[in-house]
Structure 1
């Protein structure tokens, strides 16, 4: 297994993982035949504000995770700061519990540290809370949210 930062040549593989994720959650196969193009258009538009990391075996992508980057507005007397939102973490069922997710997460966090991010936040699924807790994440009591839908 190899873990690396994704490149534009991984768009099809990332779209396939995203479709697979939703199919595991019950989306009937073949739903939304235009999805791959919409995904490619979306990711191309946001490429400069997100960093994707993938795990692969040979040419097959077996996991993904991304970090959306946010730059704080400059303020007098305060240094600039950046933070990241970890999202879209997915490893297909047959590759879970084999260290794939942790390897991707470690690469993402190493990148975040190297880029000087002050924090990485996420909204975990119920199933993933313990995974992130084992990796050192804790409650984010410094943030607030208003759910709009």
Structure 2
């Protein structure tokens, strides 16, 4: 049995949709600096999660059974090459820990679970687009500049 102060990390499934939506809303409201009115958000999130779940590994961090953090890896299968084993890469996204639970190792524990998952799936690399505030966190975990990638930003 785990202590109420011990973080538990596990991969999510459809039963976690509401908890993940709650975390996503908290993240969005923190970024906006105020509550966001959107009566359809939870429904929209559930539809998105159902559609994306087959190609994503989503992890939740729980303390005493309450979701306090999340992150996911979107897996991209590379086109096969003759004479080479198949491979894939992962995009790490939506990493978030509730403000009241930050700086306690929860983010590191989530990140370690994601890295282990990517290794288990034989990913060639993990890429991400960090916030300015999170760059030192990812650098401490061994992430560096992605000099092998280029980006073309499209107007939205």
**TM bucket, shorter chain:** over 0.9
Instruction: Note closer, same or farther for the CA distance 1:34–1:27 as it changes in structure 2 (3 Å cut).
Output: farther
SS in 1 for 2:123: coil
- Select 1:15's aligned residue among 16, 21, 31: 21
For each residue in 1:44-68, what CA deviation from the matched residue of structure 2 results, as whole angstroms up to 9, or x when unmatched? 0111000101100123100000000
Comparing 102-111 with 73-82, which one deviates more in the overlay? Answer: 73-82
For each residue in 1:91-142, what CA deviation from the matched residue of structure 2 results, as whole angstroms up to 9, or x when unmatched? 1111111101000000111111111111101010000000000000011000
For residue 3 of structure 1, what is the aligned residue in structure 2? 9
For residue 119 of structure 1, what is the aligned residue in structure 2? 125
Q: Is residue 97 from structure 1 mapped to residue 103 from structure 2 by the alignment?
A: yes
For residue 144 of structure 1, what is the aligned residue in structure 2? 150
Structure 1: state its 5+ residue gaps.
none
CA positional deviation for 1:75: 2.1
Comparing 128-137 with 111-120, which one deviates more in the overlay? Answer: 111-120
User: How far apart, CA to CA, are the structure 1 residues paired with 2:9 and 2:65?
Assistant: 12
Over 6 Å off, 4+ runs: none
- Give the structure-1-normalised TM-score: 0.96
- Give the structure-2-normalised TM-score: 0.92
Q: How many pairs were matched up?
A: 149
SS in 2 for 1:77: coil
For each residue in 1:34-86, what CA deviation from the matched residue of structure 2 results, as whole angstroms up to 9, or x when unmatched? 00000000110111000101100123100000000000111223321111000
